[in-house]
Amino acid sequence: MNPPPSQTLSESDGSNWSRRQFGLAIVSMAIGLPGCKVGPDFSKPNPPQLNAYFYQSTLENKDVENKDVENKDVENKDVENLPVDSQLSRWWNYFDDPMLQLLIRDASQQNLTIREAYYRIAESRALLGVSKSQYFPQVNSTADTSFKRNSQNSNQVISQNNVGAFWSYSNGLDSSWEIDLWGKIARGVEAASAELLAQHESLNDIRVTLLADVATTYIQIRVLQQRLNIARQNLELQQQTLHIVQARQEAGIVGQLDQSEAESNVAVTTASIPPLQQELQVALNRLSVLLGRTPDADFVLEDGFGQLPMTVVENVLPGMPAELLSRRPDIRKAHYDVMAANARIGVAVADRLPQLTIRGNISVEARDVSVLYSANSLAHSVGPSLRWNILSFGRLKRNIEARKASHEQSVVRYEAAVLRGVQEVESALVEYVRQKERALELEKVVTATNRSVEISLARYEQNLITFDRVLDAQRSLATAQGNLATARGDILFALVKTYRTLGGGWGEEVSN
């Protein structure tokens, strides 16, 4: 016996209400879950133990007590209070060379590698936005038109209305919302954030290297210009000597041999000029590319022709605090790489756990397009969906193992970056100190050989010595002057290298 209509309506309403309450309860419970982040939380990797000061044996302050040389970990927070920090940020200003400052500015604004790094940062920032968007519901618009024909031999109940072929039309919205029960999305955002920071450090690393390359190339150009000046000055001296020999030979005082040796000496010095000019043009071409422009044969640096920026040499002393290594962008990038790899472990662990998604749909469906948007065509659904990968044949487990191994690799790379940084700083400081010592001795050599040239030429004119002594003195002078110019450039090369190995130049944007 069928129940009365009123009773049927009441039960139907109660059933719908119960299902609605159940659905809302599931959604409320899912949203209200506190959630957790599976996988290991990030902890800063321990760098190798470092002495408190680099190259301590060369410290001029002999009163440094042993307690100042205790081992310390590299900590970013200690860097800001160091007295040399501002010098590292804009170290090129300490050379007091307007042309170098102009080149640094132009390279920072125009270099193509810098521009490429900016776009990599933009890419990482966009990917971070993609990761964060997974916190929110995803809604898709759908529209479908299809021609259907039902099978009359199937087991489905076939009514008069659905027999045969017909067109079907639908239009609506599909939505899904993954509830971050285990922190999978949060770990993904954490990894993407670390990768964005790593890209920023890559840009800083490129900037540090670029500024050092610009300064090194500029110094090389100045050294080559100075060596060209030296070669031309020696050529002028040797030509004057040749005139003296020719006059003595015409007077019958000396033989043809002296004149031939003087001419040979002039030719050798003349032949040394084209290779220097070639090296100079190659360096200018390299500088052009660093500035983001095509190599130009007419590109010259006339300002301060051949003058080396030596005013800064005495301003930097060895014995720099080891905490300065934390300024190095490659070490900072390695640190963020460890952070990202650690977060990826959590994402892999969450893949093994149940995934809860709230799915919903609202649409209009009809066989006749004329009634598609009528009230009777409305359809909707909403409810939770649970997915759990219970059988993956070890795929998910191996993925976790792979992420852990990747994390260990990043830790090793971080430790290697710290050790490499220490080695580079120590080597640069040693090179800087020893090149200064070499230059001091070469200055004495130039002074002595200059005096030797003057004395030998005077004695030759008095017939007290042979021309061989004059040739030896002049050749020694040319060699000594060239070596001194190179040594002074090497001091500056080592100084720039010291700034670079300490991560100098990334702390501030270069401006006018």
**Same domain, yes or no: 41 and 157:** no
In a domain, 28, yes or no: no
Mean pLDDT of 117-131: 91
**Same domain, yes or no: 76 and 163:** no
207 within 8 A of 506, measured Cβ to Cβ: yes
**Per-position DSSP letters for 1-70, written without gaps between them:** -PPPHHHHHHHHHHHHHHHHHHHHHHHHHHHH------SPPP-PPPPPPB-SBTTGGG-S-TT--GGGG-
436 within 8 A of 60, measured Cβ to Cβ: no
Q: Would you state the torsion angle of the CA atoms of residues 207, 212, 217, 221, taken in this order, to the nearest 10 degrees?
A: 130
In a domain, 31, yes or no: no
Question: Residue 374 maps to which CATH number?
Answer: 2.20.200.10
- State the helix-helix crossing angle for 467-501 and 184-250, rounded to 10 degrees: 170
Say whether pLDDT at 77 is over 50: no
- State the helix-helix crossing angle for 184-250 and 329-350, rounded to 10 degrees: 160
Task: Pick the most confident of 35-49, 188-202, 304-318, 352-366.
Answer: 188-202
Mean pLDDT of 50-77: 44
For 243, the token pair is 């005139």
For 319, the token pair is 């014995």
Place of tokens 């962008």: 329
Q: Residue 309 contacts by C-beta under 8 Å, 6 or more apart in sequence?
A: 95, 96, 97, 100, 219, 222, 492
Least confident of 60-74, 93-107, 300-314: 60-74
Place of tokens 């949203």: 31
pLDDT at residue 314 in the model: 55
**Same domain, yes or no: 192 and 268:** yes
In a domain, 23, yes or no: no
In a domain, 20, yes or no: no
In a domain, 508, yes or no: no
**Same domain, yes or no: 406 and 379:** no
**Per-position DSSP letters for 369-432, written without gaps between them:** GGGTTSGGGEEEEEEEEEE-----TTHHHHHHHHHHHHHHHHHHHHHHHHHHHHHHHHHHHHHH
pLDDT at residue 78 in the model: 36
**Same domain, yes or no: 53 and 194:** yes
Residues 257-280: tens digit of each pLDDT: 988 989 999 999 999 999 999 999
**Same domain, yes or no: 381 and 427:** no
The rounded distance, in Å, linking the Cα atoms of 283 and 37 is 54
The rounded distance, in Å, linking the Cα atoms of 7 and 130 is 52
**Same domain, yes or no: 56 and 173:** no
In a domain, 509, yes or no: no
Question: Residue 58 maps to which CATH number?
Answer: 1.20.1600.10
Mean pLDDT of 238-262: 88
Domain boundary among 330, 365, 387: 387
User: At 191, is the pLDDT very low, low, confident or very high (cuts 50, 70, 90)?
Assistant: very high
DSSP 8-state secondary structure symbol assigned to residue 313: G
Q: Of 385, 343, 328, which Cα lies nearest the Cα of 360? A: 385
Least confident of 39-48, 105-114, 219-228, 447-456: 39-48
Its domain, for residue 147, covers: 140-179+354-387
User: At 68, is the pLDDT very low, low, confident or very high (cuts 50, 70, 90)?
Assistant: very low
The rounded distance, in Å, linking the Cα atoms of 87 and 112 is 26
Q: What is the CA radius of gyration of the chain?
A: 39
Structural domain total, the chain: 2
For 482, the token pair is 């060239």
pLDDT at residue 318 in the model: 55
Least confident of 59-73, 127-141, 322-336: 59-73
User: At 303, is the pLDDT very low, low, confident or very high (cuts 50, 70, 90)?
Assistant: confident
pLDDT at residue 86 in the model: 62
In a domain, 4, yes or no: no
For all residues of the chain together, what is the average pLDDT? 81
Mean pLDDT of 411-430: 91
**Same domain, yes or no: 68 and 163:** no
In a domain, 160, yes or no: yes
Burial of 170 per CB tally in 10 Å (0-12, 13-18, 19+): middle
The rounded distance, in Å, linking the Cα atoms of 141 and 136 is 16
**Same domain, yes or no: 252 and 326:** yes
Task: Pick the most confident of 45-59, 305-319, 362-376.
Answer: 362-376
Look at residue 296 and give its three-state secondary structure.
coil
The residue ranking higher by pLDDT, 88 or 432, is: 432
pLDDT at residue 509 in the model: 54
Domain boundary among 387, 410, 436: 387
User: At 156, is the pLDDT very low, low, confident or very high (cuts 50, 70, 90)?
Assistant: low
Say whether pLDDT at 71 is over 50: no
The rounded distance, in Å, linking the Cα atoms of 45 and 409 is 12
Helix (H) or strand (E) holding 465: none
Say whether pLDDT at 410 is over 90: yes
**Same domain, yes or no: 381 and 452:** no
User: At 290, is the pLDDT very low, low, confident or very high (cuts 50, 70, 90)?
Assistant: very high
The rounded distance, in Å, linking the Cα atoms of 161 and 324 is 81
pLDDT at residue 55 in the model: 65
The rounded distance, in Å, linking the Cα atoms of 321 and 72 is 10
**Same domain, yes or no: 119 and 230:** yes
- The sign of the CA dihedral 182, 184, 185, 191 is positive
Mean pLDDT of 237-261: 88
Q: What share of the chain in percent tops pLDDT 90?
A: 41
**Same domain, yes or no: 261 and 117:** yes
Place of tokens 């954490």: 190
For 487, the token pair is 């040594």
pLDDT at residue 211 in the model: 93
pLDDT at residue 506 in the model: 73
Q: What is this structure's pTM?
A: 0.78
